[in-house]
Amino acid sequence: MGGDDIIEVCDLEHTFGNFAAVRGIGFTVKKGEVFSFLGPNGAGKSTTINILTTLLPLQKGTVRVAGYDVAREPGKVRKAIGIVFQDDVLDRDLTVRETMEFHGRLYTIPREERRRRIDDLLRIVELESKRDERTKNLSGGMKRRLQIARGLMTWPEVLFLDEPTQGLDPQTRMRIWDYIRQVNGAGTTIFLTTHYMEEADMLSDRISIIDHGRIVVSGTPAELKNTLGEDVVYLETEDDRKARDAISGIEEIRSITESPRGLSVTISTDGSHCLPRIIERVRGAGITISNVNLKKPTMDDVFVHYTGKELRDTGA
Ligand SMILES: Nc1ncnc2c1ncn2[C@@H]1O[C@H](COP(=O)(O)OP(=O)(O)OP(=O)(O)O)[C@@H](O)[C@H]1O
């Protein structure tokens, strides 16, 4: 493992009774990365995050976070990390400001610094006007934003975000992501789980997909999409049959299917390199093209390919 790995997981296993929830996984996260951990419901994400954050005891394997062993130095791990979980509980009777203040004191952030961070964060999550409101009177989205703001107070080395933007409106999601990017830019490593594939695609430096307690694939978003090798060119012409004949000799074409709406041409390499040649050949044969479209695999396609499940079908 490299010296700049801030999370190192090796041969991690975890069972509940005789059910193996995590079946020997390993991965590393580099300092400063945004790392996404994706998987269908019940795949083992929460179990893994809970072990990494010392909320569940380590049964088997080794896990180091921020240079500390979670089994032997859980206190030091806790000092180095911040956590924003889905089921975080807010004290109903504290106000928004008191919630932040209490958290800041718990982590012994000096008074002046604490004030500054509270002001900054409440502005960012747009809860300034609710400072003195008790948390029980906040809407669901406001509570979520407060939980995130609270989680971001400690400026940790590693920030664990479990479904941070679940159920929030798109504008709020974007604002929170802008802020998380800022925190990441200031040096905090981000460990994320999300059901939003597009979000994982845009934000992550690297992604691991877990299914049935095993990691099925890891890589950068571009690498994962490239592994599918299934760019598809959609082509509408004045004569699809002739167009098909004209392009059939191109080596990178894996298959061509005809439909009333045109040709679907599956490419075995990067479609954007192949597309100009397809167009040249068709034009060269004197056929007019009325429409052309290149579809590259999305992170959704990657997820479905490796897990056989669509996130939206899993009750998310
Ligand atoms: N305390 C527990 N006792 C028994 N089984 C458990 C316990 N916690 C989790 N499991 C089981 O372990 C498996 C992995 O659960 P885990 O919560 O890690 O999945 P997940 O990937 O986080 O799913 P989700 O996306 O639904 O949160 C599931 O089959 C779950 O039922």
Among 12, 16, 23, 307, which is best to mutate for testing ligand 1, by the most ligand atoms less than 8 A from CB? Answer: 16
Mean pLDDT of the chain: 90
Q: Is the CB of 43 under 6 A from ligand 1?
A: yes
Q: Is the pLDDT of residue 313 over 60?
A: no
Q: Is the pLDDT of residue 269 over 90?
A: no
pLDDT at position 2 = 58
What's the fold here for domain 230-296? Alpha-Beta Plaits (3.30.70)
Q: Is the pLDDT of residue 184 over 80?
A: yes
Which atom of ligand 1 lies nearest, measured to the CA of 86? 27
Q: Is the CB of 316 under 6 A from ligand 1?
A: no
Share of the chain above pLDDT 70, in %: 96
Q: Is the CB of 209 under 6 A from ligand 1?
A: no
What number is the average pLDDT over the span 266-276?
87
HEC string for the chain:
CCCCEEEEEEEEEEEECCEEEEEEEEEEEECCCEEEEECCCCCCHHHHHHHHCCCCCCCEEEEEECCEECCCCHHHHHHHEEEECCCCCCCCCCEHHHHHHHHHHHCCCCHHHHHHHHHHHHHHCCCHHHCCCEHHHCCHHHHHHHHHHHHHCCCCCEEEEECCCCCCCHHHHHHHHHHHHHHHHCCCEEEEECCCHHHHHHHCCEEEEEECCEEEEEECHHHHHHHHCCEEEEEEECCHHHHHHHHCCCCCEEEEEEECCEEEEEECCCHHHHHHHHHHHHHHCCCCEEEEEEECCCHHHHHHHHHCCCHHHHCC
Q: Is the CB of 45 under 6 A from ligand 1?
A: yes
Average the pLDDT over each of 94-103, 208-217, 220-229 and give the range with the smallest value.
220-229
What number is the average pLDDT over the span 258-285?
90
Which atom of ligand 1 lies nearest, measured to the CA of 195? 25
pLDDT at position 256 = 92
Ligand 1 centroid to 49 CA: how many Å? Answer: 11
CATH 3.40.50.300 in the chain, residues? Answer: 5-225
pLDDT at position 205 = 96
Which atom of ligand 1 lies nearest, measured to the CA of 48? 18
Q: Is the pLDDT of residue 148 over 90?
A: no
Q: Is the CB of 213 under 6 A from ligand 1?
A: no
With cut-offs at 50, 70 and 90, classify the pLDDT of residue 183. confident
Each residue of 286-305: pLDDT tens digit?
A: 999 999 999 988 999 899 88
CATH 3.30.70.920 in the chain, residues? Answer: 230-296
Residue closest to 220 by CA, chosen among 208, 206, 199: 206
Q: Is the pLDDT of residue 86 over 60?
A: yes
pTM of the entire structure? 0.81
More confident position, 114 or 312: 114
Give the closest residue (by CA) to ligand 1 atom 3: 16
Q: Is the pLDDT of residue 103 over 80?
A: yes
pLDDT at position 169 = 77
Give the closest residue (by CA) to ligand 1 atom 11: 21
Q: Is the pLDDT of residue 315 over 50?
A: no
Q: Is the pLDDT of residue 314 over 50?
A: no
Ligand 1 centroid to 87 CA: how many Å? Answer: 14
CATH class of 5-225: alpha beta
Q: How many CB atoms lie within 10 A of CB 247?
A: 21
Q: Is the pLDDT of residue 61 over 80?
A: yes
CA atoms within a 13 Å half-sphere pointing along the CA-CB vector of 101? 9
